[in-house]
Structure 1
Amino acid sequence: MTQTQKNTGLKRIIHACKYSWSGLKAAWINEAAFRQEVIALVFACVVAAILDISVYEKAALVGAVIFVMIVELLNSATEAVVDRIGLDKHELSGRAKDIASAAVLMSIVLALIVWISVLWVNYLG
């Protein structure tokens, strides 16, 4: 496809949405951690809806879980690319996977901090 034939405007957005949906389906099918995070998101939405907290705090609770899911998608993409290149052990491949996994861990820590902070301020403090 030449530069002049590339999709633009609404057609580009529609194609981008199709690719994104395909990525979400692939993550759901192939990544147990992503499925667990979807369950966590449903839980977060229910709890946030029930709690008597501000709309900003509700958004923070749900947003923290969504952020974990975003990082998990990037981790899964990194793993897929590394595995596509080759399954043989290589220091850089291992490092890439470990760093992506560390990013997931850090996003989970951030989510826990948000949840603990909101609950502490409203119910425990």
Structure 2
Amino acid sequence: MKPAVTKLTGISHFFAAAGYSLGGFRRLIKEAAFRQELLFAVVALVLLLAVGATLAELMIAVILFLTVFAIEALNTAIEEVIDRISPEISSVGKHAKDLGSFAVLCMLTACGIFMLFTIGKHLMFG
């Protein structure tokens, strides 16, 4: 018989969840793609500040980049699970990994379009 799992509630649950999130960040920072996306976000925010972006534009950029990070985390999770359950090359595993990669690409494209539009607007119209 398995021992009963104690379900945390209240502030204990909050701190446990924060610990799990920190663990996820520690795992994700090991990924070169995530480090590159993080650098992209920092450079993009500095550029937005340099061209005089509005607070709303900065908030949109932050939300877009947080979404990139979330999708990158999910993509990494998919890759981890596929590698664990199917270490051999399989078409299903390849498709799952390719789909996760495509999701990241879509978000990076959305960020790039927003950045080009916003920076271009500020450079052309001040």
Deviation (angstroms), 1:35: 1.0
Aligned to 1:24: 25
CA distance in 2, matches of 1:115, 1:42: 12
- How many pairs were matched up? 123
CA distance in 2, matches of 1:87, 1:44: 37
What TM-score, normalized to structure 1?
A: 0.88
Contact 1:78 1:100 in 2 (8 A): yes
Greater share of helix? 1
Aligned to 2:71: 71
Contact 1:41 1:65 in 2 (8 A): yes
What TM-score, normalized to structure 2?
A: 0.87
Aligned to 1:9: 10
CA distance in 1, matches of 2:109, 2:121: 18
Taking the TM superposition and a 5 Å limit, the aligned residue runs for 1:77-88 are 77-88=77-88
Aligned to 2:109: 109
Unaligned runs of 5+ in 1: none
Contact 2:51 2:119 in 1 (8 A): no
Q: CA RMSD in A?
A: 1.7
CA distance in 2, matches of 1:42, 1:119: 15
Taking the TM superposition and a 5 Å limit, the aligned residue runs for 1:30-69 are 31-69=31-69
Deviation (angstroms), 1:108: 0.9
CA distance in 2, matches of 1:120, 1:114: 10
Deviation (angstroms), 1:120: 2.6
Matching residue's letter, 1:108: L
Matching residue's letter, 1:9: G
Query: What are the Cα deviations for residues 47-89 of structure 1, in whole angstroms up to 9, with x where unaligned?
Result: 2333312100111223322222221111111101100112112
Displacement over 4 Å in runs of 4+: none
- Percent identical among aligned pairs is 30
Matching residue's letter, 1:22: G
CA distance in 2, matches of 1:37, 1:51: 21
Query: What are the Cα deviations for residues 15-72 of structure 1, in whole angstroms up to 9, with x where unaligned?
Result: 011011011011112x100111121222223223333121001112233222222211
Q: Which is further off, 63-72 or 74-83?
A: 63-72
Unaligned runs of 5+ in 2: none
